[in-house]
Amino acid sequence: MNSTLQSQTPSEVDLPHLTVKRAWPRILGIIVTAIQSDPPDLLGHLRTETRLLHDHLESTSLLARLTNTELQIDDYIDILKRYFGLLTRFEEQVADHPGWAVINRQPETCRKSPLLKKDLNTLGVDPSNHGHPATADLSFECQSVSQFMGTFYVIEGSSLGGIYIAKHLQQHLGLTANNGASYFHGYGADTAGQWKQFCGHLARYGETIPDPKPVVDAAQHAFSTFHQAMSGR
């Protein structure tokens, strides 16, 4: 071995113009820049940009009671009526939307208002066409396909949380999928699978658009709309 190399520490072996010891910060900087320049996918954008709004929604006093051991049936009915008003409006807005083709679903297979109406009727309540006064003037941003995807991300994502809420409702109110809690049971055993499938379509859609902002804006608007519905009187 070359005696010069033997006398040098491994961190000082010469590069063309720099020793490794001196070059390492520059190499590290190049690596970090490369990582940072790789933008997150659409799902990553949505998770990051809606996290605070999601937490803000769940912190409303009404939804906080939904998973509380002191949940009363009147509170539960109030929540169902608000969901019914909102989701009925969403389903009206997207009845013939081209976004359904993007996610490869038929609108009738994703309608949730019939489940809410069934639950309310089981509990002796007629939701009427309005559901709840707090939702009467609310709507979603669904004009474009990007807006549809952002809004559906919020609505479909709530089904995942419904799995845990359904267990809580059965434990504390004795409600089941056939007895007042069909909405929170969602797609049943296929709930997680349906969400995974949607996320796949969402990721592929994200690769076809130049800017995720319209999707993110619609998702943020949807969270804000839900918040208005759950905090209004």
Query: pLDDT digit string (tens) for 117-159?
Result: 999 999 999 877 557 888 989 999 999 999 999 999 999 999 8
pTM for the predicted model, two decimal places: 0.81
pLDDT digits (tens, 9 = 90+) for 36-47: 434 569 999 999
pLDDT by residue (tens digit) across 186-215? Answer: 999 999 999 999 999 999 999 999 999 999
Give the Cα separation of 130 and 71 in Å (integer): 24
> For the residues 165-186, what does the mean pLDDT come to?
95
Where do the structural domains in the chain lie, given as residue ranges? 1-38, 40-231
Task: Record the tokens describing residue 180, joined without a space.
Answer: 């007042």
pLDDT confidence bin for 28, thresholds 50/70/90: very low
Mean pLDDT computed over 213-223: 98
Model confidence band, residue 26 (pLDDT cutoffs 50, 70, 90) = low
Instruction: Give the C-alpha separation, 116 to 79, whole Å.
Output: 10
Residue showing tokens 């709840």: 132
Tell me the percentage of the chain whose pLDDT exceeds 70. 82
Q: What is the CATH number of domain 40-231?
A: 1.20.910.10
Hey, is 96 helix, strand or coil? coil
Q: How far apart are CA 129 and CA 83, in angstroms?
A: 12
Place of tokens 């996290």: 51
CB 138, CB 92: distance < 8 Å: no
